[in-house]
Amino acid sequence: MKEAKTALEMYRMMLLIRRFEEEAARAYSLGKIGGFLHLYIGQEAVAVGAAHAMRPTDSVVTTYRDHGIALARGMTANAGMAELFGKVTGCSKGLGGSMHFFDAENRMYGGHGIIGAHIPLAAGVAFASKYTSDGGVTMVFYGDGSASIGATHEGMSLAALWKLPIVFVCENNQYAMGTSLERSISVTDMSKKADGYGMAKDRFVAEDVFEIRDRLKDAVERARRGEGPTLVEILTYRYRGHSMSDPAKYRTKEEVEDYKKRDALNQLRAELAASPETAKDVEALEAAVEAEIAECVRFADESPEPTADLLEPTTYAGEFAR
């Protein structure tokens, strides 16, 4: 087994994300979580590979499907689950909810609800890195459905023109809500957009978390060297509906089952269990993840709710501007 320690760590995080999402779904059905809940189940390898391609001083920005990358960047399961439960101990004090995970300490700058709007924002983070020469790189995630909206295009245009240190990661999970890829974009190889901007590009299937890490790392280091942005399209799949209210009738059971057979998490587990170097660690690690998940649900349940006195100071820095 190559890089046994890293492999175990990546497996642990992928499993943590999946279990976190499964428990979130359960809590949602119990009414402990409200609003929109978009699960990341099936896509874990992307976030974990990405997090391993970055330095702690690099930054990430993502969409409302944000739990995976937040955890992979180091947010605790406690802070994440408490946010979903709307508790003051949550990463955004229970004010943001599922779509708005923020963790400035780990340079995870959201959690955004308006399609495409976070792309220029991320380019702004990259601009700041270039401006201050801090050596940081920004990675921004977006869905296949977010490729056509204006803000995405404008953000990419500027990032490429100014050679900003940013990596655009298109998580192509084949659907934007109920709209399949070919119904939402005229050129379904979305990495080709890079050509128009004069950016480097890459495109691959998310099956091996190491491959994801390595190929994203190439892009991150290219950005760090001042050679400008890369557009990386990663082909992946979400096993659940778009959000909890989506029965996902627009695709077949067979299609979903087919993707599940190639599940990156299961594949990594099989490899770890087969390797004498790591086999003995797998079960202990899984037990630890279970404990962490049980603990985060307990923590979220028992934490206090935010109170009204939080609302004004989180609207303005100083005196409230009336």
Partner 1 sequence: MKSMRFREAVREAIAEEMERDDRVFLMGEEVGQYQGAYKVSEGLLERFGERRVIDTPITEAGFAGIGIGAAMVGLRPIIEFMTWNFSAVAFDQILNNAAKLRQMSGGQLSVPVVFRGPNASARQVGSQHSHAMEHFYVNVPGLKVIAPATPADAKGMLKTAIRDEDPVLYLESETLYSVKGDVPEGEHLVPFGKARIAREGTDCTLISYSRMVHVCLDAAEALAAKGIDCEVIDLRSLRPLDEETIVASLTKTHRAVVAYEGWPYGGVGAEVVDRLQRLAFDELDAPILRVTTMDVPMPYNAKLEQLVIPQAHRIIDAVERVTYRRT
Ligand X SMILES: Cc1ncc(C[n+]2csc(CCOP(=O)(O)OP(=O)(O)O)c2C)c(N)n1
Q: Does 173 bind ligand X (CB under 6 A)?
A: yes
- CA 260/CA 251 separation, integer angstroms: 14
Q: Which residues of 232-270 are buried (b: 16+ CB within 10 A; e: fewer)?
A: bbbbbbbbbbbbbeeebeeeeeeeeeebeeebbbeebbe
Contact present, 143 and 62 (Cβ < 8 Å): no
Q: Say whether 27 sits in a helix, a strand or coil.
A: helix
The Cα–Cα gap between 78 and 295 comes to 7
Grouping H, G, I as helix, E, B as strand and the rest as coil, residue 187 is: coil
- 94, 83 Cβ separation under 8 angstroms: yes
Query: In 110-263, where does DSSP find H-type helix?
Result: 118-132, 150-161, 181-184, 193-197, 209-224, 253-261
Residue 78 beta carbon to partner 1: minimum distance, rounded to whole angstroms: 17
Asked if the peptide bond before residue 143 counts as cis, ω within 30 degrees of 0, the response is: no
Q: Please report whether residue 66 would count as binding Mg ion according to CB under 5 A.
A: no
- Cβ atoms of 99 and 66 within 8 Å: the answer is yes
Q: Name which of partner 1, ligand X, Mg ion, none residue 185 binds, using a CB cut-off of 5 to 8 Å depending on partner kind.
A: partner 1
Binding residues for partner 1, total number by CB under 8 A: 42
Give 75's Cβ-side CA count (13 Å radius): 33
Under the criterion CB under 8 A, does residue 36 sit at the interface with partner 1? yes
Closest distance between Mg ion and the C-beta of residue 176, in Å?
A: 5
3 interacts with, out of Mg ion, ligand X, partner 1, none, CB within 5 to 8 A per kind: none
Using rule CB under 5 A, residue 143 touches Mg ion: yes
Q: Which of 146, 152, 278, 303 binds ligand X (CB under 6 A)?
A: 146
DSSP 113: -
Residue 200 interface partner, choices ligand X, Mg ion, partner 1, none, CB cut-off 5-8 Å depending on type: none
Q: Which does 65 bind (CB under 5 to 8 A by kind): partner 1, Mg ion, ligand X, none?
A: ligand X
Measured CA to CA, the distance from residue 78 to residue 21 in angstroms comes to: 13
Over the window 245 to 264, marking each residue x when it contacts partner 1 by CB under 8 A and - when it does not, the resulting string is -----x--------------
Query: Which range, of 53-61, 144-152, 248-256, 275-283, touches Mg ion by CB under 5 A?
Result: 144-152
Binding mask 72-111 for partner 1 (x = CB under 8 A): --------------xx----x-xxxx-xx-----------
**From the list 54, 81, 115, 194, which residue makes contact with ligand X (rule: CB under 6 A)?**
115
Question: Which residues here bind Mg ion, judged by CB under 5 A?
Answer: 143-145, 173, 176
Question: Which residues here bind partner 1, judged by CB under 8 A?
Answer: 34-36, 86-87, 92, 94-97, 99-100, 112-117, 145-146, 148-151, 176-179, 183-185, 250, 305-308, 310-312, 314-315, 322
Question: Which residues here bind ligand X, judged by CB under 6 A?
Answer: 63, 65, 113-115, 143-146, 173, 175-177, 242
